[in-house]
């Protein structure tokens, strides 16, 4: 089955700096790669996603890149703010003969220091 | 549109007991997945149901089981509870399987004593 590795497990940045979180996946059939943000005591919520036919996607301060050949994808947050502090999860799933479920990485705890 | 609803929000059980958790998906969503969340382990996939059938299963012992009803509501059951089963159990619903956004409920916090 699919296996998703996520690094780093914790990340501290100064307010205004950029943050990068990286993930790798194992199943070449995976074609959907979402990123979820979970604030303390709250449910995970989708912040951005990318499909395998796209190499990069941006939404204001957030961007995701995908390298299908290397089976890795990354989340980039620019001009970080204290409200970006949360746990971020990457995930991978596929739609095909197996319809693989959404498998998550172990998460990255991002702390933005004011 | 109402979000994903999980009940109960909190549970305290004794080792050896069994427990049933409930999840009501967003109206129209047919896929329901369950995850166990523990510190340091992230979101571990338990199983996925679609149209009342289990479509995928994670690496959990047979003590963990689930089902889905015709209205897409889902339940998961854990029998012979162990201390290590203490966790936040999250369910997520999607319109379909695979490559689509999953919407999470607030979770059920299970404590086994």
Residues in chain B: 113
Cβ atoms of B44 and B58 within 8 Å: the answer is yes
Answer yes or no: is pLDDT of A97 > 80: no
Q: Classify residue B3 by its DSSP letter.
A: -
**Closest CB from B55, B58, B101 relative to A49:** B101
Percent of chain B scoring above 90 in pLDDT:
87
| Rounded-to-integer distance, Cα B39 and Cα B108, Å | 15
Distances (CA, A) of A55 to A72, B72, B108, B109: 11, 35, 37, 38
Compute the count of residue pairs across chains A and B with CB atoms less than 8 Å apart: 61
Distances (CA, A) of B111 to A23, B81, B82: 31, 10, 10
Answer yes or no: is pLDDT of B41 > 90: no
Provide the chain B residues 10-69 that lie in CB contact (below 8 A) with chain A.
33, 35, 40-45, 48, 55-56, 58
Within a 10 A sphere around the Cβ of B12, how many other Cβ atoms?
11
**Closest CB from A42, A99, A106 relative to B98:** A99
Q: Which residues of A5-37 are buried (b: 16+ CB within 10 A; e: fewer)?
A: ebeeeebebeeeeebbbbbbbebebbbbbbbbb
Within a 10 A sphere around the Cβ of A81, how many other Cβ atoms?
12
Residues of B with Cβ-Cβ distance to A6 under 8 angstroms = 42
Quote the pLDDT of residue A49. Answer: 95
Distances (CA, A) of A3 to A39, A71, A88: 24, 11, 17
Question: With an 8 Å Cβ cutoff, are A102 and B102 in contact?
Answer: yes
Burial label for B93, CB within 10 Å (0-12, 13-18, 19+), is buried
- Which residue does chain B place closest to A39, by CA atoms? B106
| Rounded-to-integer distance, Cα B71 and Cα B73, Å | 6
Answer yes or no: is pLDDT of B29 > 80: yes
Q: Which residues contact A103 (CB under 8 A, 6 or more apart)?
A: A1, A2, A3, A4, A25, A91, A92, A93, B45
Quote the pLDDT of residue A43. Answer: 96
Percent of chain A scoring above 90 in pLDDT:
82
CA distance A44 to chain B (A): 6
Residues of B with Cβ-Cβ distance to A96 under 8 angstroms = 98
Question: With an 8 Å Cβ cutoff, are B42 and A93 in contact?
Answer: no
Quote the pLDDT of residue B99. Answer: 72
Phi, psi of B27 (to 5 degrees): -55, 130
Q: Which residues pair with A22 in a beta bridge?
A: A7, A74
């Amino acid at each position: 089955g699919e296996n998703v590795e996520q690094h780093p497990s914790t990340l501290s940045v100064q307010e205004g700096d950029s943050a990068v979180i990286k993930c790798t996946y194992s199943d070449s059939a995976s074609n959907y790669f979402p990123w979820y943000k979970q604030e303390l005591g709250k449910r995970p919520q989708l912040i951005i996603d990318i499909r395998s036919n796209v190499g990069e996607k941006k939404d204001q301060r957030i961007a995701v890149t995908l390298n299908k050949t290397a089976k890795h994808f990354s989340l980039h947050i620019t001009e970080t703010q204290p409200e970006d502090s949360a746990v971020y999860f990457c995930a991978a799933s596929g739609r095909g003969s197996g319809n693989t479920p959404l498998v998550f990485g172990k998460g990255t705890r991002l702390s933005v220091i004011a | 549109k109402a979000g994903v609803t999980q009940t109960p929000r909190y549970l305290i059980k004794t080792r050896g007991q069994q427990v049933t958790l409930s999840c009501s998906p967003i109206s129209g969503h047919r896929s329901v997945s369950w995850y166990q969340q523990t510190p340091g382990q992230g979101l571990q996939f338990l199983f996925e149901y679609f149209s009342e059938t289990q479509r995928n299963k994670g690496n959990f012992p047979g003590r963990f089981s689930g089902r889905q009803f015709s209205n897409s509501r889902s339940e998961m059951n854990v029998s012979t509870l162990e201390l290590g089963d203490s966790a936040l159990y999250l369910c997520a619903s999607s319109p379909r399987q695979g490559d689509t956004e999953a919407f999470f409920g607030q979770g059920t916090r299970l404590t086994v004593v």
